Amino acid sequence: MVVADITYVATCQGWAYLSLLTDAGSRAIVGYALCKTLEAEGPLKALRMAMDFYNRYNVDLNNLIHHSDRGVQYCSNLYVGMLKKHHINISMTQCGDPLHNALAERMNNTIKNGWLFDCTDDSFEQLDKRIADAIYAYNYVRPHQGIQMRTPMEYIRKCSGKVAEVPLVGTGAPAPILMDYASEF
């Protein structure tokens, strides 16, 4: 399952909008996009990054569940069309309760308050680089209690038996993964 959400981040140039997609099993951030508007462009860019992430390791998108709130971006014809085109199963919250998308909401909080808490003096471009660096640290450096105090990429290597490619810091793209959740249970 991959969970999706959008959060607001302040810059010296006004608000920016961060779209995040998080793999629920590994906690890895598999797609993201920072945009200057709340249009569907940001979530679509993050979705394409997540699909590339999974496709590079032959993860069957037919078995993938995409969960989000009912934001207009996720309900747009473009976004739903992209999910359907790739046979990704769609799950959406029934109401506006953030608890129904808790993992995505928690990810927003972790990125904003863990790494981006003092970025109001940053330009959009500076913020974009800070986000890329934060996602790298989140995926490769920060251990998570929910995955036995491993980083998402360590957890992925343990579950898949494969060595995940390590991206350069600040490249703006998380490394691809392959999860075999069944081997963990």
What confidence score (pLDDT) does residue 117 get?
Answer: 67
> What mean pLDDT comes out for the span 77-97?
90
- Separation CA 132–CA 32 (nearest Å): 9
pLDDT, one tens digit per residue, over 103-161 is: 787 887 787 877 766 777 889 999 999 999 999 999 999 998 889 999 998 887 776 65
d(CA 152, CA 147): 8
Q: How far is CA 22 from CA 17, 66, 118, 122, in A?
A: 16, 10, 23, 25
Least trusted range by pLDDT, from 33-42, 76-85, 87-96, 154-163: 154-163
What is the C-alpha separation between 7 and 20, in angstroms, rounded? 8
Domains in the chain: boundaries: 2-184
pLDDT attached to residue 184? 37
CA distances from 73 to 31, 39, 46, 161 (A): 15, 6, 12, 36
1-5, 36-40, 55-59, 172-176: least confidently modelled range: 172-176
Residues paired with 150 in a beta bridge: 144
Residue-wise pLDDT tens digits, 145-154: 889 999 998 8
And the tokens for 66? Answer: 């995409």
Residues 43, 6: Cα–Cα separation, whole Å = 8
Q: Does the domain spanning 2-184 belong to CATH 3.30.420.10?
A: yes
Mean pLDDT score across all residues of the chain? 82
Q: In what order do the strands lie in the sheet with 29-35?
A: 29-35, 14-23, 2-11, 65-68, 89-92
Does residue 90 register a pLDDT over 90? yes
